[in-house]
Amino acid sequence: MVSKHTEKEPEKKKLAIYDLDGTITKYDSLYFFVFYLIKKNKISIRKILVPFISHIIFKKNPRKIKEKILSAIKTKNKDEMDKLCFDFAYNHLKYKQKFIKQINQEKSNGYSLILLTSAFDSYANAVGKKLGFDTVLSVGQLIFENNHIIYQSIGNEANKGKNKLESLKKKINLDSFDLPKSKGYGNKDDLPWLNILGHKKIY
């Protein structure tokens, strides 16, 4: 009698996906980045005062407000912007310590770590590198053109969770991961992508 030998399929890797603002950080880090740029004399206070107050108090048209804030930045060069973002992410931005420990623990346990955020790409990449993420997905992108900063984002800013899910599906082959055993951390706006994972926590 000949026994049939079947090879066991390799186990799929698990994901650990994190939102940034309000999850890894306590507040919207854009506020603190603006204060940082003011200290560095890299942004025009006169140009950002009204849109900044509107963003904090009234939450009006977040995309337009972001565009106005970013257009007021005196730095119009991508390399210089990247340097500012890295300095801010590494030396000034405050992170929740429990997440620092958790991210390191999940990395050592073999999870593939993804930072999925609405923060613009230069800034998100700096945070991702600082915290040791394998992949950074940002729905916002800065384009430097003719000494102007143009802000582009996927979809409507009012649908951040759906935009993030679209970006996730486009950039990551989700079928190659064990989603029922994967984890997600975000806020209520992130439910569209949190709901595809087996374990989620909302902050």
**Statement: 15-202 belongs to CATH 3.40.1190.20:** no
In whole angstroms, what is the distance from residue 73 CA to residue 41 CA? 9
- Whether pLDDT at 115 is above 60: yes
* CB-CB contact of 126 with 155 (8 Å): no
Residue range 127-133: mean pLDDT, rounded: 97
For residues 120 and 102, what is the distance between their CA atoms, to the nearest angstrom?
A: 24
| Cα 39 from Cα 172, distance rounded (Å) | 38
Tell me the two tokens of residue 41: 């004399």
> What are the tens digits of pLDDT across the range 57-71?
666 666 677 777 777
- Tell which wins on pLDDT, 203 or 136: 136
| Residues 73/149, Cβ–Cβ less than 8 Å | yes
**Portion of the chain with pLDDT greater than 90, in percent:** 59
pLDDT band at 126 (very low <50, low <70, confident <90, very high): very high
Strand 183-186: give its sheet, edge to edge: 148-153, 135-145, 112-120, 15-18, 183-186, 199-202
| Start-to-end C-alpha separation, the chain | 59
Is residue 6 predicted with pLDDT exceeding 90? no
pLDDT given at position 71: 79
**67 CB-side CA count, 13 A:** 10
Q: Mean pLDDT in the chain?
A: 88
> Is the per-residue pLDDT at 53 higher than 80?
no
- 8 A C-beta contact, residue 69 and residue 48: yes
> What is the DSSP track for 64-124?
HHHHHHHHTBS---HHHHHHHHHHHHHHT----HHHHHHHHHHHHTTPEEEEEEEEEHHHH
Q: Which residues contact 132 (CB under 8 A, 6 or more apart)?
A: 103, 104, 107, 113
Per-residue pLDDT tens over the stretch 143-177: 888 777 888 877 666 578 999 999 999 999 999 99
Cα distance between residue 155 and residue 139, in whole Å: 9
